[in-house]
Amino acid sequence: MSTETPDIESGRSTASRSGREQLYRGIFLTCGILSVLTTVGIIVALLSDAVAFWSAVPITDFLLGTEWSPDIGGTYGVLPLVSGTLIITFGSALISLPIGVLTAIYLSEYASDRVRSILKPTLEILAGVPTVVYGFFALVYITPLLEGAFPTISTFNALSASIVVGIMIIPMVSSISEDAMSSVPDSLREASYGLGATKFEVSTTVVVPAAVSGIVSSFILALSRAIGETMAVTIAAGAKSRLVNPLDPGAAFLDSVETMTAAMINIGKSDVDPGSTTYKSLFAIGLTLFAITFAMNVVSNLVAQRYREEYE
């Protein structure tokens, strides 16, 4: 009798543990399915009204049109909105990518554990600041400073919007890049030091190339974040729909632009009939924005898989 009791209790414990594991598996599976269904639901919601919009406005006119004026003239060319979005994304990349990578190199290779424990959380606070605060900061502080250097700059301009969006996405670049650099084995560093390399040479010629997949992924994810930014660019850049000329940086950055997200806000808050073509154009813009960010995330995954280093 005494020899059977432990076996019975062990069997019950195993059955209980197996039941809990099945429960956890079901919860995680449900969460995964909900995530997929949410994405599919968003695509269906955007696609249904976008198709209705393209039945009234040919998709070629929408994708290739050079004028966006839904209220006056009823023209729905999305290129001005795409160009406004890309010019701000490009400007923010010039700020965030080099600063983010240099910050990641410092945190990974130069900073002590104490400094890293203080600096990294402090830097990531930038990601927690509401975007509307960034927009007002650009409008109230950055634009007046830029007026001293560029007297012809508009009150609402792409340059100040690019600056605040660049500041906003620095934590994403630095955090992901630093994680990628920290995952590089110390054996590679020690081998380089053994060959007489300096810390700077090790950082730039060994660590950064070894972590390139994570660094490039951080770039693309940060730029996807910049493309989808709404409130900061709406407040700072304004809503002047125009086709940006990349060969004329002065006109490109010093004047107001309208991004895709800003156009969606302007349509959403206006008194348009929900069944009108203008209202349905909101979904066409949203689907275009979704396609751009989705393509960038696919590229990020491909780059990560192509250049991922596996260490034993």
* Spatial separation of the C-alpha atoms in residues 88 and 230, rounded to whole Å: 12
Comparing CA positions, the residue from 129, 215, 212 lying closest to residue 175 is: 215
Confidence of residue 164 (pLDDT cuts 50, 70, 90): very high
Please answer whether residues 210 and 184 qualify as being in contact, where contact means their C-beta atoms are separated by less than 8 angstroms: yes
% of residues, the chain, pLDDT over 90:
9
Q: What is the pLDDT of residue 68?
A: 86
Please answer whether residues 131 and 168 qualify as being in contact, where contact means their C-beta atoms are separated by less than 8 angstroms: yes
3-state helix, strand, coil in the chain (%, to 5): 80, 0, 20
- Mean pLDDT of the region 194-214: 86
Domain covering 62-307 assigned CATH 3.50.50.60 in the classification: no
Comparing CA positions, the residue from 228, 272, 285 lying closest to residue 54 is: 285
Structure tokens at 283: 């979904």
Please answer whether residues 81 and 260 qualify as being in contact, where contact means their C-beta atoms are separated by less than 8 angstroms: yes
Q: What is the pLDDT of residue 55?
A: 87
Comparing CA positions, the residue from 180, 202, 163 lying closest to residue 300 is: 180
Q: What is the pLDDT of residue 33?
A: 92
227-263 pLDDT, tens digit each: 888 888 888 888 888 888 777 767 788 888 888 888 8
- Mean pLDDT of the region 151-166: 89
Give first-to-last CA distance, the chain, whole Å. 51
Confidence of residue 99 (pLDDT cuts 50, 70, 90): very high
* Spatial separation of the C-alpha atoms in residues 75 and 70, rounded to whole Å: 5
Please answer whether residues 105 and 181 qualify as being in contact, where contact means their C-beta atoms are separated by less than 8 angstroms: yes
Comparing CA positions, the residue from 280, 274, 277, 286 lying closest to residue 228 is: 286
**Could you tell me the pTM of the whole model?**
0.82
Q: Angle at the Cα of 93 (from 301 to 147), degrees rounded to 5?
A: 160
